[in-house]
Amino acid sequence: MTDTRLDVLAIGNAIVDVIAAADEDFIEREGLIKGGMQLIDAERAEELYSRMGPGREISGGSAANTVAGAAALGARCAFVGQIADDQLGAVFAHDIRAHGVRFDTPARAGDPPTGRVLILVTPCGERTMNTLLGASHFLPSESLDHDLIRDSAILYLEGYLWDPEQPRAVMRQAIDIARAAGRKVALTLSVNFIIERHRADLQGLIDQGLIDILFVNEEELICLTQDDDRESALAKVSAKVPLLVVTLGADGALAIQNGQRFTVAAEPVERVVDTTGAGDLFAAGFLAGISRGRGVEDCLKMGAIAAAEVISHYGARPEADLKALVAQKLG
């Protein structure tokens, strides 16, 4: 479809998920907001870890999950994110490369360690995330390969990484490089607290027309527009963004492109085990569709298929053969 070397280059948190089952009581006792994501410091991480159940360590990070999924669907992807020179960093680097994603960001020596998210999964599969960003905070501008950005059809950015100063500057720089080369810029807003803290900045990017594709869920759409009427919120954002994609949880998703609306139902799932990564994998399917030259309707369907796969098991990286699933369901 494109004549670039890569389809998607993503910048995001380089993080390993530590996933444990938990009951509702535990969430309440620890004062956590079920279904939410909060940043925690090392001391709180230690404390919470000591009290939570046995874990599975599976590589994560929102944008990293997205390129892992997009690569599984045949897109040519690269990831930029900061790991530390430690065992969890080695796990992250191995896994993303094993998913077929190019990853060249050198590990950072010394403290802090590689970031991790303590994820508590309650009985209906809902995840509550407690994030220690660690080394992810310290992404230097040297981590950007300008030529590679110019040679990637889509630059994909993760809102979670908008908080720390250094990575935010790196992402702003990457936007300039990509746009100067005529590439598309995609952004996922990730979570409400990021929108609240960086509203002017993020809204500014959108208003200036720097974002070609925007991924949000319904809560983030409302938070961004401060308008709880879905239709009017959609109208406001889609007037500024050429391609707006809104995930709606169990209600599927919709996209608005140049005033035209497309919808998709959620793919049926036998049992929702762990919703971690649902949005990330939706974006993966959608972006992989774009990179294969598919229409918006097919892109939505590919997003729904990839999201359904990832919520049917623990962890936010695809396990099944996504290409085969798409071929079977979409042809």
Residues lying near a copy of itself in the complex (CB under 8 A): 18, 20-21, 49-50, 52-59, 68, 86-88, 91, 94-96, 98-99, 113, 314-315, 317, 319
Q: Which of 312, 234, 233, 231 is nearest to 266 (CA)?
A: 312
Q: Which of 275, 276, 189 is nearest to 237 (CA)?
A: 189
Query: Tokens 């990484």 sit at which residue?
Result: 161
Least Å from the CB of residue 270 to a copy of itself: 11
Other C-beta atoms within 10 Å of 216: how many?
25
Residue type, 103: F
Provide the token pair at 282: 């939706």
Least Å from the CB of residue 99 to a copy of itself: 5
Q: Which of 34/56 has CB closer to a copy of itself?
A: 56
Q: Which of 272/330 has CB closer to a copy of itself?
A: 272
Residue 244: its H or E element: strand 243-247
Least Å from the CB of residue 293 to a copy of itself: 27
Quote the CA–CA distance of 164 and 150 in Å, as a whole number: 25
Q: Which of 134/279 has CB closer to a copy of itself?
A: 134
Q: Which of 87/328 has CB closer to a copy of itself?
A: 87
Q: CB–CB of 286/245 below 8 Å?
A: yes
Least Å from the CB of residue 135 to a copy of itself: 13
Q: CB–CB of 116/91 below 8 Å?
A: no
Quote the CA–CA distance of 133 and 139 in Å, as a whole number: 11
Q: Which of 222/273 has CB closer to a copy of itself?
A: 273
DSSP classification of residue 86 = S
Quote the CA–CA distance of 6 and 279 in Å, as a whole number: 22
Q: Which of 96/214 has CB closer to a copy of itself?
A: 96
